[in-house]
Structure 1
Amino acid sequence: MVEDLRGYLRPQGDGHPLYPGAVVLVARDGKVVVHEAMGQAVKYADASGAELPADQQVPMRPDTIFDLASISKLFTSIVVMQQVEAGQVNLDAPVANYLPEFGSFGKEPITVRQLLTHTSGLPSWMRLWRPYPDRASRIAAVLAVRPSAPPGTTYVYSDLNLITLGVLVERVTGRGLDELVRTGITEPLGMVDTGYNPPADKLYRVAATEFQTDPDRGMVRGSVHDENAWSLGGVAGHAGVFSTASDLAILAQAMMNGGSHAGHRVLEETSVTAMLTDLNEGFPGHAHGLGFELDQRFYMGALASPRTAGHTGFTGTSVVIDLLSRSIAVLTTNRVHPRREWSSVNVARRTVADHVARALDVAPRRGRTAWYAGHADGTTATLTLPVTLREKHTRLGFDLFVDTETADVLTLELSRDGGATWSPLPYVVSSRGRIAHHDGSICGFTGRHWQQAYAEVDESPGQVQIRWRYVTDPLYQGRGVYVDEVRLGDAQGTLVNGEREADRFLADGWSQATR
């Protein structure tokens, strides 16, 4: 993984590196297993990409402090949930109950919950640093914005949702958002390098972001990159938090632990469950809890599942929390340094997640190995079993592990003409007491555990071929597909024992894997 990430420091197809520098941290069961820094925290002098002299560049280090951009939304969401626990806020109450000026242009029914799940109908963004002259007028403009859709009718990821929530918690508590985050999250959890507007004595550890000309800020370092958050004084509900990979991992571990870490609780378990449970089932592809994104393959890669939570930041940051394996993957980069147009780091985010996923064991169901279909994109892999049937009724049994994206499909097929044509072979899957009937194909997240499958092969005696065909699309991967303990039998007894007769299989793209 680290080797691949270092490769992105070199110029890519467009002539630019993916990022000047990065820090990656991976933890499993509360233990850090990878924590590496690479590249430069400060490399460029201006927007053209002119490099600073070598002695003026600043190397990346494990404790480099990054502008988290939209990962800040998680901190605001946690503060909101703390106020819910304190009885100050009701998730299903109209926002206008707390912010009367919000209740205009049909926004009166919008609830706190809808702001947290991005189903409020508010527009995604609006410019605040122009034409509004000060923080008060900018906040007033956000609260007075016209919705782009009726509440609850669509999913639109919106900075305005979280800016509004930041104002809401400040209003109900009479305290600043920065103070609420500090006293409610970072201090209890010991996140010593996390907060808004980093102090001057930590500037030497802060990664540079973008050279900005509109507004005219020059090379931004130590001040929030997001222009709207900057215009609000660096403290806003949608952006403004700075942190290190280590501190982000602490926050992730606290969520994984149900709201506490190292003896300090910041949320009740019921609140954490609500934050990590999909409340957007009516908007497929936009799974979202109260603040956290869920099951997003584009950056969670092979770790994605309904039980995987996280968030990204525009500056090149991401955190992934895989509850099923108790794994955490944090990637912090300064990809907008010196210009935001240079790159997207989604491929690097997936690189981290995919390597973590592949490091997790899939122990063979029986024996030392299981058949594995590989993890390449845009390929077809086949595992074929030629067999001579002896009876009219033959039963095929096999064990199956399937964790793919929905466009990567495993199909069980049968050929009666030596492989010239194939027909789907329906089968039944038993998974921890649940029975599912398949028309021959299976895909998606099925639980990351072994399942038992069987099919009835009702064919006249003679030669047939049975195969497992795995087809992947050009982008994204899950943990993959494994087949083990293949058994074929009829009234006369065992016809094929796959554990003892592995050489009977014709593998094209499949291999025998030990894990």
Structure 2
Amino acid sequence: MAAHRQSDGGGDGALSSPRLRHGTPERAGLDAARIARLVRGVRALPEGPRPWCAGAVLIAGRGPVIAAEAACGWAVRHAAYDETADRGVELPVAARVPMTLDTPFDLASITKLFTTIAAVQQIERGTLGIDARVGAYLPDFTAAARHGITVRQLLTHTSGLRPELPLYDAPDMPSRLALLRAEAPSSKPGEFRYSDLNMLLLQHLLQRLTGRALDVLVREGITRPLGMTATSYGPRPGAAATEDQRRPWAKADRGMLRGEVHDENAWALGGVAGHAGLFSTAYDLAVLCRALLNGGSYGTARILGPDFVDLMLAAPGLGFRVDQPSFMGELAGRGAAGHTGFTGTSLVLDPVTDTFLVLLANTVHPRRRPADSGPREAAATRLARAVTGPAGP
């Protein structure tokens, strides 16, 4: 297993909580044979005539113990997508880039979790009201103000805003922001409707409230204290490749992407957005999982208090999806929380069994396909079935 550099991060005088370390499945209270099947299943994902992904990285564990870790396939396998043949144009093997445990990935919508944590930190400090109206902080976002959208509605995807807005088609930044400010709910507020726009509004609210850009809030409030040195907004030249992004299957003509944000709206907004734009590694995301499972603490650092972690993870979840069998498999049903990303990324943490699963893959390389969370569901179910007893110390 690979060794990863760790930083002590910041602290607030709280007692130290356990940090991640490598160990056997048995040490973590996990069945070794079932964990081996989990690893074999992930290693098979880049194989076959129609592989699920070009490559993948897995980290899974229980308590502070990393019990499974694997990298397979390719971070870069294709030079382009051949739309006539409907397949990728493969690079010579010598020119491909193998996947490693330390390969960064475009997290896509997992970015939403970081925006959520940044917002909940302000709620914990008392500077942001969870049931306050967005218009109280952003009066120039006239549609949200007129319709009384609240902070809680943004965090729970119940604002009624449509899933996305074609900001990438607007000619410049002022016109893109004007579209966002004028966007009104298109369905009844209070009903769940997953929307990138919720996190874009939350981004602007946080920036107005704190006077700091979102990337600064994420770095100073989350990644630096936790020692997540591999997590940042792009560009990240060494990241796993994503898509040969071209119309008509994509929303912009940008060619093969590697290290540049895949999401077209995040790209149009300069790469830093509330809904997408972060790059990270599996290990860094495992650290985040452990911090949340530890009630907001990791080592000597604390990013949230336990009550506010519970607020995020309790159904229906703030930012987090809770008990979603479609990608959580048999971990769902007892309070597991997590998220997926369009590029092929996912994480799940289960407070009941103290387990975590990070599965990062570049499923859109060389081009996007219809969503398929079957491998994520299978991996989570294998981890759930591996739980045999109490977590290791």
Sort the TM-score into its range (normalised by shorter chain). 0.7 to 0.9
Structure 1 residue 344, shift from structure 2 partner = 3.5
Larger Rg: 1
Aligned counterpart, 2:343: 315
Structure 2: gaps spanning 5 or more residues? 1-37, 83-87
CA distance in 1, matches of 2:301, 2:262: 31
CA distance in 1, matches of 2:230, 2:146: 38
Where is the helix percentage greater, Structure 1 or Structure 2?
Answer: 2
Contact kept in structure 1, 2:144 and 2:181, CA below 8 Å: no
1:392-429 residue CA offsets vs partner (Å, 9 max, x unmatched): xxxxxxxxxxxxxxxxxxxxxxxxxxxxxxxxxxxxxx
Contact kept in structure 2, 1:169 and 1:177, CA below 8 Å: yes
Matched residue SS, 2:89? coil
Structure 1 residue 87, shift from structure 2 partner = 2.3
Aligned counterpart, 2:74: 40
Contact kept in structure 2, 1:159 and 1:238, CA below 8 Å: yes
Give the alignment partner of residue 296 of structure 2, picking from 259, 278, 285: 259
Aligned counterpart, 1:122: 161
CA distance in 1, matches of 2:212, 2:113: 18
CA distance in 2, matches of 1:253, 1:143: 37
Contact kept in structure 2, 1:254 and 1:260, CA below 8 Å: yes
1:457-499 residue CA offsets vs partner (Å, 9 max, x unmatched): xxxxxxxxxxxxxxxxxxxxxxxxxxxxxxxxxxxxxxxxxxx
CA distance in 1, matches of 2:301, 2:173: 34
**How many residues of Structure 1 are paired with residues of Structure 2 in the alignment?**
344
Contact kept in structure 2, 1:224 and 1:240, CA below 8 Å: yes
1:240-251 aligned within 5 A? 240-251=277-288
Matched residue SS, 1:252? helix
Aligned counterpart, 1:4: 41
1:312-391 aligned within 5 A? 312-341=340-369, 344-361=371-388
Tell me if 1:51 matches 2:90: yes
1:115-514 aligned within 5 A? 115-130=154-169, 132-152=170-190, 154-199=191-236, 203-204=237-238, 206-214=239-247, 215-278=252-315, 288-341=316-369, 344-361=371-388
Contact kept in structure 2, 1:107 and 1:147, CA below 8 Å: no
Runs of 4+ aligned structure 1 residues displaced above 6 Å come to none
Contact kept in structure 2, 1:258 and 1:267, CA below 8 Å: yes
Contact kept in structure 2, 1:252 and 1:321, CA below 8 Å: yes
- How big is the alpha-carbon RMSD for the aligned residues of Structure 1 and Structure 2? 1.5
Matched residue SS, 1:97? helix
Tell me if 1:95 matches 2:134: yes
| Percent of aligned pairs with the same amino acid | 50
Structure 1 residue 345, shift from structure 2 partner = 4.2
What TM-score does the superposition give when structure 1 sets the normalisation length? 0.65
CA distance in 2, matches of 1:348, 1:23: 13
Tell me if 1:78 matches 2:117: yes
Matched residue SS, 1:210? strand
Aligned counterpart, 2:51: 17
CA distance in 1, matches of 2:144, 2:103: 44
Structure 1 residue 106, shift from structure 2 partner = 7.3
Where is the strand percentage greater, Structure 1 or Structure 2?
Answer: 1
1:10-68 residue CA offsets vs partner (Å, 9 max, x unmatched): 23xxx421001000000111110011000000000112201011111000000110000
Aligned counterpart, 1:446: none
